[in-house]
Amino acid sequence: MRRSGGLVGVIVIVWLVIGVVAAAQRGYFSNDRDVSCKTASDTILTVVAGPLNYLGVNPKVKCNVPEPSR
C-alpha cells in the first residue's frame, strides 16, 4: 500500500511541474505582469491543469471583486 502512495505522490509532483513549465511558457511569472485576482487565478489554474495545457486547455478566470465605498 505504501508504494502506491509514493507513486501517486510522484505523479502529482510531475503533473504540477509540467503545469509550472506551461505557466512559465505563457509568461505568467514575468515581473512586468500586474498582480490581480484574474492573473493570480489564471496562473494557479494553469499550474493545476498540468499536462492538459498541452492538449489545448487554457484556463481563464473572470474575477469580480467588489470595490470599497468612497
Model confidence pTM above 0.75:
yes
pLDDT tens by residue, 36-53: 888 888 899 999 999 999
Give the type of residue at 66.
Answer: P
Q: If DSSP codes are grouped into helix, strand and coil, which group holds residue 60?
A: coil
Nearest to 50 by CA among 23, 25, 26, 10: 23
Grid coordinates of 70:
468612497
Q: Which of 3-7, 10-14, 34-38, 61-65 has the highest mean pLDDT?
A: 10-14
CB atoms within 10 A of CB 32: 5
| 59, 42 Cβ separation under 8 angstroms | yes
Residue ranges of the domains in the chain?
2-55
Q: For residue 65, give the 3-state DSSP assignment.
A: coil
